[in-house]
Amino acid sequence: MNSIIKNGSASITLYSDSFNKRIRIDDYSGDAQEVLALIAQSEYSWVEKIIVKAREEELPVFLSNGYSKEALIKGYFQGVDMHFLAKYQKPTRGSNPGHYQEQQMIESILSQPAIARKTDTQIVSVATVEDADGLAQLYAAIFNVYPTPVNESAYILKTMQDGTKYVVIREQNKIVSAASAEINAQYGNAELTDCGTLPEAQGKGHIKKLLSKLEEVLAVDNIQCLYTIARAESYAMNKAFYQLGYCYGGTLINNCYIFSGLEDMNVWHKAVQPKFST
């Protein structure tokens, strides 16, 4: 749930996420100390992690008040970098025993030659409202646990109405793979997310095809920053973004409940040249 909270000249845009036991400050304005006070007033007893999307100039204030840097997305705010900051209200939430192995995996991926080329997208189509049920069924079959209710067609429809774009691959008229782009028109960025493929359709490079198609679709929307937040445990997903020219931006520790439980998430970002629609 998103809400705007104000006090004097300061305001915050807060996303309250009880499922993942976190709150996230997606935007803020005003004096940094007043922003911190608003965040403190907005904490709930169930909150284990506070996330702030911060600009460079406010970093010293946040870092001196218990926040730490976890990741970076270059160009997120209309060309201005965004830092993911975190503060843990529950100390154990700030550490993951599998983090070392995940970082070794990232180092292995980053040591490989970067391909940075798109793949053929002819088999990919842009989803419509008629695909909401099929998308929900796909996600329900893939994810036992997910940060958002993508297994509900009503939720899929609502996100479509809000501007999220979905792309799909079908086999025998059945959706077997999909991904989406959540567009932030205000700041000219888009998050590539909700990537999933049925087990029987894996190993065919579907995810890279879907992501390449999304980049084509977004090219006319004045988007200059693309990013994703991928499961740190997924070698294939992280490698796919690397091979498409995305830069590793860091890891969000115990960021959300996904797949089987609470997991780390890796941030990848990419600067793109927008094509203004006529």
Q: Which tens digits make up the pLDDT trace of 213-222?
A: 999 999 888 8
Q: Are residues 73 and 197 in the same domain?
A: no
Q: Are residues 120 and 258 in the same domain?
A: yes
Assigned domain for 278 exists: no
Which domain does 127 fall in, by range? 99-271
Assigned domain for 184 exists: yes
Q: Are residues 132 and 264 in the same domain?
A: yes
Q: Please, which pLDDT band fits residue 100 given cuts at 50, 70 and 90?
A: very high
Q: At what angle do helices 132-142 and 153-161 cross, to 10 degrees?
A: 120
Q: Are residues 63 and 123 in the same domain?
A: no
Q: Which amino acid is at 121?
A: T
Which is it for strands 2-7 and 10-17: parallel, antiparallel or unpaired? antiparallel
Q: Are residues 77 and 104 in the same domain?
A: no
- Inter-residue contact 211 to 241 (CB < 8 Å): yes
Q: Please, which pLDDT band fits residue 117 given cuts at 50, 70 and 90?
A: low
Q: Please, which pLDDT band fits residue 158 given cuts at 50, 70 and 90?
A: very high
Assigned domain for 108 exists: yes
Q: Please work out, in degrees rounded to the nearest 5, the angle formed at the alpha carbon of residue 276 by the alpha carbons of 273 and 278.
A: 160
Distances (CA, A) of 259 to 135, 139, 254: 17, 11, 13
Q: Would you give the DSSP letter of residue 128?
A: -
At residue 128, φ and ψ (nearest 5 deg) are -120, 180
CATH code, domain carrying 33: 3.40.630.30
By percentage, how much of the chain surpasses pLDDT 70?
Answer: 97
Assigned domain for 150 exists: yes
The rounded distance, in Å, linking the Cα atoms of 77 and 54 is 10
Assigned domain for 265 exists: yes
Q: What is the pLDDT of residue 157?
A: 98
- Inter-residue contact 264 to 232 (CB < 8 Å): yes
Q: Which amino acid is at 132?
A: A
Residues near 36 by Cβ (< 8 Å), separated by ≥ 6?
61, 62, 65
Q: Are residues 8 and 135 in the same domain?
A: no
Asked whether the whole model's pTM tops 0.75, one would answer: yes
Q: Are residues 17 and 139 in the same domain?
A: no
Domain boundary among 72, 94, 116: 94
Assigned domain for 52 exists: yes
- Inter-residue contact 84 to 268 (CB < 8 Å): no
Assigned domain for 148 exists: yes
Q: What is the number of domains present in the chain? A: 2
